[in-house]
Chain A
Amino acid sequence: QVSVLYFARSAELAGLRSETLSVPRQITSLQLWEEIVKAHPRLAVIRDQVVFAVRQEYVLLGDQLLVLQPGDEVAIIPPISGG
């Protein structure tokens, strides 16, 4: 079970800021995205613009294998605009 955090446009599309999700311990970042879109189909439109932050490290959506621990934080990161 991981904590999924939503920010900016992704929070608007998902309709929430955080939730817990049950996912396999080992999963590629793309598969993780697909799990999340199953729960929140409106997120599909931003697929090409987002990355993840897993345990506060950026991860691109792709084949990268994630090894997740219970309670890990996974954040959906739309294109940033600080400063």
Chain B
Amino acid sequence: MDESEDTPKDFIKLKSEKLSVDEVSELVVSPYCGAVSLFIGTTRNNFEGKKVIHLEYEAYTSMAETEIKKICRDVRQKWPSVKHIAIYHRLGVVPITEASVIIAVSSPHRGESLEAVMYCINTLKASVPIWKKEIYDDEYSWKENKECFWANSEK
């Protein structure tokens, strides 16, 4: 089979519409791959006993896309057999249980895509300029990822 017709691709998108797991996983499917691994980050309805009404995301869009491209490049260096990578992040209001982020990776065998997906979400949380605001009944709070490499919050 001519594998050059299935050149590895990175699919990166930041959008305010609802994310579709079907759409994102279909992007990475390949006849040369026996594995598609998936991570979906969804909105929880509570934080420290407070009821979360919804989340709101904003991004430094151009830099976020650049940082996500760096993550894809790193993935391909660490796991060269990875075929396609899709990282979709939602911006704006995300209601409870809906997805804020979907990451899908395909590889010939399951080990690489499983590890690559974990690397993608962990690194995204540490380095991509996207911010989340949790909206409660009577107040809101800008969240801070513990992975953020420069923040040392004493929470």
Where the two chains meet, the residues of A that have a C-beta atom closer than 8 Å to any C-beta of B are: 5, 7-9, 49, 51, 53, 56, 58, 60, 75, 77-83
Contacts and interface: CB of A to CB of B under 8 A. Distances in A.
Interface of B: 41, 57-60, 62-64, 66, 89, 100-101, 121, 124-133, 142-145, 148, 150-151, 153
A79 B144 contact: yes
B145 A79 contact: yes
Contact of B60 (A49, A75, A79, A83): A75
A5 B129 CA distance: 12
A82 B89 contact: yes
A79 B151 contact: yes
Contacts of A5: 60
A57 B119 CA distance: 21
B150 A82 contact: no
